[in-house]
Amino acid sequence: MSAQLETPQQLSDLLRLHRTATDEQGAVDVETRQRRLQTAIDMLVDHHEALCAAMDADFGGRHVGFSLMNDVLGSLNSLKYARDNLESWLGPEQRQVFAPYDQLGAQAWVRYQAKGTVGIMGTWNAPLFTLFSPLASALSAGNRAVLKPSEVVPQTVRVLAKIVAQCFDPMDVAIITGGVEVGQAFASMPFDHLVFTGSTQVGKKVMRAAAENLVPVTLELGGKSPVIIGKSADIQEAARRLAIAKGTNSGQLCISPDLIYVPVAAREAFLQAFSATYSTLYPSIENNPDVVSVVNDQHMARIDGYLAQAREEGAEIIHCPDVPLPAQGRKRPLSIVINPPLLSDIMTEEIFGPALVLLTYSEIKHVLQEINSGERPLALYYFGQDAAEQDYVLDHTLSGGVTLNDVLMHAAMEDAPFGGVGASGMGHYHGREGFVEFSHARTVFRGAPVDPRGDWGMLPPFAEHFATAMASQVTR
């Protein structure tokens, strides 16, 4: 069987083969895990040029340097970190045995075993990273895997399908291609674990489908990731870093900031500094190779709709840079929507494109109340030098992750978990936490050489003192 699959039936047949092989193989040794990880590393290194060209074609304009940084190097970092640290994650964890068996020679430990086969559903905005970063965790845990890339980026899928089939044994890693119907079937398969990256709405459907087979899920979703500019913040530097972040992939990142809360008194200074930085980074839009296109017409129309509604409802909108909209293509200047109505679409829907919302505030507690009135975001950002205020923000909010005095950076941490909470997802990958996520933590108890329960009157027929002895241990 080829590592490239095209139909749900082929996938179903492969999963049966995987299950049989997993049961027969038993424990997965470190050499096998490292070999699978190295195969993925070698594949990306050998074929990075073709993959970057495909991503550029799919977006209709995506700089090769960004694709290398975000997707190729991001994936390689996860794979190499897992490869280089795997041995320290393996081995049993000794656990404390309960009294009195701890004194009688009993032992207990937890061993982390491969679950079996992990299904990984990637998304279009980071078409390599959302497949290979979770794959690093899945392979480090000893699992086999099947990849389902997003059909929104067909050229990237075509290259991926070819090279995965060339480089991997399908009994290690396989890939299935196809559209929405294949994706729905994929989510319904009896994997041993399922990973999905995408929207909250689709994530709910994936979770419902997985529940039919009681398949555990890791969902990396999104949300309205907010930024809080504290009154103690360096406005110029905060604006500079936010402009850099918002231009990254033209805002088409799951942790891209959507809402920026700025003190009323700092509004003009922030806007001026932000606009200056963004316009320096992107002085032109049309035919600018540094500007990433919105991925397709459907997403362009969605973003344009948000902006048109906000404008109709009276919101002020400024553009960075302040240039006419391109006559063709899907490259756009960044639109900053200032204080739109709370119920407008751009305030309630994830933007995922070259637009953001700026909201002014007087009291930070009101900002946190507004953030907490919505769904839990995947990321939260705070700028400021006030340690007490920083702690107040961290203590009174909940998000998948946090970056302080910068943007996007926590997601690049390989030695820390990445994932969401609530509507922004569940579970995580990266580092040892990712290894644990895709492992079955199996408790093992080894009995003591002697069993004193009979001598102690703890077995039927119970002695008169048995209940008294048990009651004496009911203590505070």
**Residue corresponding to tokens 């980071």:** 126
CA distances for 16 relative to 12, 192, 216, 378, angstroms: 6, 12, 18, 35
Query: Residues of 177-209 as b/e, b for ≥16 C-beta within 10 angstroms?
Result: bbeeebbebbbbbbbbbbbbbbbbebbeebbeb
Residue 411's SS3 state is helix
Active site residue 220: yes
* CA 160 to the chain's CA centroid: 20
Segment holding 464, helix H or strand E: none
Please write down the long-range contacts of 12-16, taking CB distance under 8 Å and 24 or more positions apart: 12/189, 14/146, 14/170, 14/174, 15/117, 15/146, 15/189, 15/190, 15/191
Could you please report the per-residue DSSP string of 25-82?
H-SPPHHHHHHHHHHHHHHHHHHHHHHHHHHHHHHT---HHHHIIIIIIHHHHHHHHH
Could you please report the per-residue DSSP string of 183-251?
HHHHHTS--SEEEEES-HHHHHHHHHHHHTTT--EEEE-----EEEE-TTS-HHHHHHHHHHHHHGGGG
Q: What are phi and psi of 446, to 5 degrees?
A: -110, 120
Catalytic residue (choose from 52, 254, 320, 350) = 254
Q: Where does residue 74 rank: exposed (0-12), middle (13-18), buried (19+ CB within 10 A)?
A: buried
Cα separation, 63 vs 363, in Å, equals 41
Amino acid at position 436, single letter: V
Catalytic residue (choose from 24, 87, 212, 220) = 220
Angle at 41 between CA 40 and CA 44, to 5 degrees: 85
Cβ–Cβ < 8 Å for 134, 148: no
Amino acid at position 334, single letter: L
Which of the residues are catalytic? 220, 254
